Structure 1
């Protein structure tokens, strides 16, 4: 498995047989143009702009009629309203299992993490992706664990590390509670370099324990698993 980080919450995975990439959450805080360059399919966890750049994804679908997007209900509606063809956008819900270009994708989740009691919670789905016997989990804007784990645990757990809805303690507990070989921080656009350093110190297993490798990626950097 080769994972590439495109900034904030956006990552892509190389699909089997040179079939392009599976892109997750190409939002406006990410290098969306690069992320979508070789996209064969796109997954969107929810409709917030930092997770789906509607004009960019709609343009991709217009120029590449073979590309498909799977998204939460509100995100799918936003893409259709933004000009995407209905037959290229599929709404997903927790409990579905998808076969996308050789990748097995299990949809979970349901609710965005609570920002404030007075702020309505968005629909947020999660994705467990299994490719060639390896696995990755993207929780969107939540710390909801996968309903099912591969027998040997995850290969990569993506952990949100910054946002108006989170506490660092929740990120630490999430990283320690979901078995994974590697923890990769995401949802980090609001962090300065100082913030990244402090976050890395707390999430690194030397500080609070755990059995994973903490692997911060810079924009455009790939991790081979």
Structure 2
């Protein structure tokens, strides 16, 4: 599995038949780079930092073979934004999909709580199994993956910054889900000092376990 980080919450996975599977290409990410060569797109929820609606709609219009799977509100936002309806599919927790040769298990349900008076968005999660490797993208949640492989994950993406996050919850999430590599995401609000502090707290030496903490910069590739 080859994972490319495109900034904030967006990653892509190289597919065996060419092209990439892109997850959460939002406006805080390098969306243009992420969508170049995309064969399929997954969207966890409809917040703008997870789906750049104009960019994704433009991609779908220009490339009829590309399809998107998204939460209900995410799918509606894309259709309302001009995306061809037949290329946009709504997903719900419990579905298991075959997308471009990848097995995708949909989980989750609700966005993490930002504030009791702020309505919670619909947030789905994606467990992706591809080429004998596995990756989990939780969107804006710390929901554990359903149907975890017997030997654990290869890559766990952990949100580390935002109005809904707490570092303690990120640490608990990293400790509770067995994975070979932990990659921080949802990091656009962090300064370099913030990244350094977060890395120290999430490092294996402090938390125990066997994972490798791998912070990636935009455009950087992790081979798993």
Identify the TM-score tier after normalising by the shorter chain: over 0.9
For the residues of structure 1 that align with 2:174 and 2:214, how far apart are their CA atoms? 12
Partner of 1:16: 16
For the residues of structure 2 that align with 1:199 and 1:205, how far apart are their CA atoms? 12
CA shift, 1:4, in A, is 0.1
Partner of 2:142: 143
Partner of 1:3: 3
Corresponding residue SS for 2:17? helix
For the residues of structure 2 that align with 1:157 and 1:41, how far apart are their CA atoms? 21
Unaligned stretches of 5+ residues in structure 2: none
Partner of 2:91: 92
1:49-198 matches, within 5 Å, as 49-198=48-197
TM-score normalised by length of structure 2: 0.99
For the residues of structure 2 that align with 1:210 and 1:112, how far apart are their CA atoms? 27
Corresponding residue SS for 1:158? strand
For the residues of structure 2 that align with 1:160 and 1:75, how far apart are their CA atoms? 19
Corresponding residue SS for 2:48? coil
Q: Which moved more, 1:54-63 or 1:203-212?
A: 203-212
Corresponding residue SS for 1:69? strand
CA shift, 1:72, in A, is 0.1
C-alpha RMSD of the superposition: 0.5
TM-score normalised by length of structure 1: 0.99
4+ residue segments displaced more than 3 Å: none
